[in-house]
A = this chain, B = another copy of it.
Amino acid sequence: MKSHPHLPVCENCIAAGHSLFRDLTPDQLEKADLNKGCSIYKRGTIIYHEGNRINGYYCVNRGVIKIYKTGFDGKEQIVRFAKRGDIIGYRSVLSRELACTTAKVLEDASLCFIPGDILFELVKLNSAFALQLMQLTCKELGDANNFITDIAQKTVRERLAEILLLLRDTFELDENKVLKISLTREELANMVGTATESVIRLLSEFKADGYIELQGRKIRILNVSGLQKVANL
């Protein structure tokens, strides 16, 4: 977590990410730009911890972050990932609550930190921005509700297929149809909400059924519609 050699320019990030900041005027954007601090975080670093007070939020300029909660017995439940263009920590800032999740670096990342005051000020100054922010939160809330229903009603097999498709949407496939994200079986299990061994067994079942191919952590997706059928989508 050392300071950034050359600050990333917000404008570039905007182009990459969702439309959250597109409604800011040039001087509002500059306001955020001037007040931000950027750092590089290596794999394994914890950006913030469940229970911490966060007084600002982070924009992901590069890298991958996993956002998770720690359950009663120490088991992680991965809630979402954040990649270039996403923002993290804004929930706790807005609701003025303690962080309810932990954010850990999966792939070396570069993050900009923007103080919460600036966020509140921008909401005050620019209602279009406020609306974008609300829409982002509402979208996440909808996703969360979907996931609750899935996890409550679907089998592990169905959920794993669904997660694979979700990862495909989020991180996409390379030219060899291989998922552009490297996760351990345990991390997969912590997304699906199951045991590591179950993920291992089911992945080799999917492989036997010709839906995927495996080489270590590389997962090649061969049959999307097959997986969709398994996932009941």
Residues of A within 8 A of B (CB): 69, 71-73, 75, 77, 79, 91-92, 94-97, 100-101, 120, 123-125, 127, 130-131, 133-135, 137-142, 144-154, 193, 232
Contact = CB atoms under 8 A, between A and B. Distances in A.
A153 B100 contact: no
Contact of A148 (B72, B124, B131, B148): B148
Contacts of A135: 94-96
Nearest to A100: B142
Contacts of A193: 148, 151-153
A151 B152 contact: yes
Contact of A137 (B77, B79, B134): B134
A138 B71 contact: no
A48 to B, nearest CB: 14
Contact of A144 (B73, B141, B152): B141
B146 A100 contact: yes
Given A131-B123, A135-B95, A138-B137, A148 B151 contact: yes
A151 B151 contact: yes
A138 B91 CA distance: 6
Contacts of A152: 71, 77, 151, 193
Given A91-B138, A130-B131, 10 more contacts: A69-B146, A75-B153, A95-B139, A123-B134, A133-B134, A134-B134, A137-B141, A141-B144, A147-B148, A151-B152
